[in-house]
Structure 1
């Protein structure tokens, strides 16, 4: 951790919930990006935790934008900066609702146009800012305010959708591994063109666990293979260090599921389906890294 700068661009006066991992992730994103950065934030938890005007907990410029328009706004902003000869980092920092669902059309368009920006989706697997309603990123069996008996559909595979656009760089990260996240943001910002980082951001009130367990929950997600850390640079996939063990011998998914109240109604059949899905995904990632597929 000694290589991470001491400068802070996210101050201690945020309105985030105790144990909020999305604000923790943003802290390291901004450390990697530095002061010459503009955040584009659609409607999401981040648009609230930044604070009330005229005060803010962010020490970089922030442009708040409508739910569906973050990537479109970033496209225009990036073009304006580049036309003026500026290398300012344009970073979209959006939740899963504004990425997987509402904002996916603008995201796809920006990637198709080759916009020089970094799009980050911090994924707490529900619409956290408005009360934890189900999103396309909510996993099978999870309780939300709109799926009180547990979600009956599987999580949308956003990473495969983004990969289909062939960006020069994309990666997954988790708030429980800040150095891994920091390095991936630094690498992404060193590459021209559209970049994407998908961060798993455990949420204490939404996932129903004690706020002091955020890091533990994030590490369980990685150790069980529920969340695989990797980079895909110019089409070449490389699994990151923390996920190496999971690729060989993952912990049982039940360890992760039973640590969260949102899965309290998950039946043995649902848990078995989640485990099977993980095994299938790990096998696919392993083959891709080895160049088999």
Structure 2
């Protein structure tokens, strides 16, 4: 809050994010959930680059840039320093990183932070590729998506591997609270981030975040496409407490995955190439597995 008790933006407008930027939306929701009494640790990535072009910053809260690989370690250090100084109080230590820094390059440091039990919340803003450096695939890239390092072509239908189940990995560390969310559901994300920060110990939020630039869709469609991922059951929304799924967002009459895939140029080859229909069937099977495993349609 400002000194005259009028609310103000904890992430200011005027940053360098693309129109329809998923990272800006995610950061805004996180700050709406936790308020100004927080310290943000932000590894290298789109969010860091577009909010802090030297000598300017869009952050109205304490913020520190970590390297791609050590976001979890820096967040651990911030929390330990606050305790050592007797200043922890209610201050929340929040890590916000993309899928590359979270699921690939920085997973070791993040694992260590959770194994040690630091009282931090880590939010993965998952736009499913390394968008800041040229749309290279990450372990968050979904099956069949075309990226600059998993391009579709005569010998390829795009990314050949399935998306890494990062929430399950973090739950396996003994985290007391893990949740998936989406920037298409602002209230859900705000509620879950707040809940995560109110839980003592290392907590993890995985936010699905469509990227207009990297995925290839009109920037006005970010929220619409985010909701389609949920409605087709390719991105289930759930909460886990002490490793047990305790809450699931139900999906009445799930839509076919084609409704989601056809909105993005990263999947357009599947509708043009010989054999593409079979690849779409494989993606539909993944959605069907989510429906069955999480009971999304019950």
Normalised by the length of structure 2, the TM-score is 0.90
2:216 counterpart (205, 208, 213): 208
Indicate the RMSD between aligned Cα atoms, in angstroms. Answer: 1.6
- Shift of residue 281 of structure 1? 2.4
Q: Deviations over 1:210-237 (max 9, x none)?
A: 0000010000001010111111123332
Which residue is 1:259 aligned to?
A: 263
How far apart, in 2, do the equivalents of 1:117 and 1:15 lie? Answer: 28
**Would the alpha carbon gap of residues 231 and 93 (structure 1) be closer, same or farther in structure 2, given more than 3 Å must change?**
same
2:149 counterpart (125, 146, 166): 146
Aligned length: 280
2:187 counterpart (179, 183, 186): 179
| Map 1:56-71 → 2, pairs under 5 A | 56-71=57-72
| Map 1:1-293 → 2, pairs under 5 A | 6-83=7-84, 84-87=86-89, 88-149=91-152, 150-240=158-248, 243-245=249-251, 249-266=253-270, 267-286=276-295
Indicate the SS of the match to 2:245. Answer: strand
How far apart, in 2, do the equivalents of 1:12 and 1:193 lie? Answer: 32
How far apart, in 1, do the equivalents of 2:165 and 2:195 lie? Answer: 23
* Contact 1:141–1:265 (8 Å) recurs in 2: no
Moved >4 Å (runs of 4+): none
How far apart, in 2, do the equivalents of 1:159 and 1:171 lie? Answer: 7
- Shift of residue 285 of structure 1? 2.0
Structure 1, unmatched stretches of 5+, are none
* Contact 2:233–2:251 (8 Å) recurs in 1: no
Indicate the SS of the match to 1:244. Answer: coil
Normalised by the length of structure 1, the TM-score is 0.92
Q: Deviations over 1:85-125 (max 9, x none)?
A: 42321111000000111011111111110010001000000
Structure 2, unmatched stretches of 5+, are 1-5, 153-157, 271-275
How far apart, in 2, do the equivalents of 1:31 and 1:216 lie? Answer: 21
